[in-house]
Structure formats: C-alpha cells, structure tokens
Amino acid sequence: MRVAIIRFPGTNCDYDCAFACRSCNVEYGFVWHKETTLDGYDCAILPGGFSYGDYLRSGALASFSPIMQAVREFAKRGGYVVGICNGFQMLTELGLLPGVLLKNRNLRFIHKRVWLKFESSVCRFSENMAGRLVRLSIAHAQGCYYCTQNELKRLEDDGCVVLRYASPQGEVTDEHNPNGSVSNIAGICNREGNIFGLMPHPERSVGDLGNDGTWLFSVLAS
C-alpha cells in the first residue's frame, strides 16, 4: 500500500508514523490539510497531536479542513483509514465512526504505557490478532470513549470493537481502564472494517522502540 500521512497545524506524530512506515518498508507521503485529494494512495493515516490546538473540542476544527472531504469520500469507496489518538477524535467528529471522545475521568492528561487486548472483529488491520496482548503508549486528555448503550450493542454485535484496555494477563476490568472509556474500549472500526480508530499509539512501538506496534504497519506493507 501507499500511505498518506495527513498533517494539520498542531499534528506532532506525523514523523513518528513516517518512521514506523520506513521501519516496516511501507511507502508513504505527507499530505497537507489544505489539499483536496488522496489520489494515488491506498491508505490514509490521521496521526496524533493537537490539531488546531484542540480548540473547541479535540478533532472538531480539523474535521472541517479541505482534505477531510477527500477522506470521507476515500473511506466510502473502501479506502483504508487509520485514526490514531487525535485522528480517532477526528473520525468520530466526521461521523465515520460512532461515539465521542470525552475528557479523561480524572480530568488530567495521561501519558503512560498500557496493556491492550485484541477482540475478534471485522477490522482489516487486526486479522488473526484476536486474544493477543500488546503494550502501547497512550498520551491524551480526551481519550474517554463514550457511546450510547444502543451504539455499544451495535458495535459488539457487528464485531466492531477492536481493542480494549486490559491487565497484563488480559483481564478486562475497570481497574485497568486508564481514562473511563465505556466497556474499556480503546479502538473500534466500522462495519466494513476499513476505518479504524484507536487512542493508543502503535507508531511509538516500532523498530528501535519495540515491536508491539509493528502489527499495524506490517498490514500496510502487505
């Protein structure tokens, strides 16, 4: 795949994603938020950071950038889209994924490594990963995933819950939920499996930084 790494004012994980792509032999290019097409790309990554300073609401202003209409159309045509942290927030703001990211329940910025458990899902980025555990970094102030009970039921019935916060032994409990996300959810996808949003940062655990994030970029290299 050829991957577009989309940059906004305030994006700060673009070069991390580029490093991860290079480490896994993934061809990539940077796309500025004022561009209007994703022609020539097979996947778009919305990296983490603080787009537009997180004014109004995380990801809200970025969702109105010119490139986001192209992202919407690209996704609806079946193009692969990954939103990491701030990128996940953008995907919910665009309505490409259900729910919303709220302030962490402790009302503080959280930066630490957490354990995550893969669920059985339709996500095309996590095939054959069900039951596996990985340890990734989180770094967010608004990472508490929330959706209604009806939306949660649809996500679970449709196999759209991809990652949950867990213990090192894979126990999904509130004790190991760092931000208060409903049902310990750390990542979800759409019904077709081509749009994937997650709060943890796989790009920070690739190459010299470890192997726990390699699964995502290895898929992009295939």
Catalytic residues: 85, 201, 203
Nearest to 206 by CA among 31, 13, 8: 13
- Give the tokens for residue 125: 């980025």
Give me the residues paired with residue 189 across strands.
196
Angle, alpha carbons 77-90-9 (nearest 5°): 110
Please state, in angstroms and rounded to a whole number, the distance separating the CA atoms of residues 166 and 177.
7
Please state, in angstroms and rounded to a whole number, the distance separating the CA atoms of residues 27 and 25.
6
Please state, in angstroms and rounded to a whole number, the distance separating the CA atoms of residues 16 and 203.
6
3-state secondary structure of 125: coil
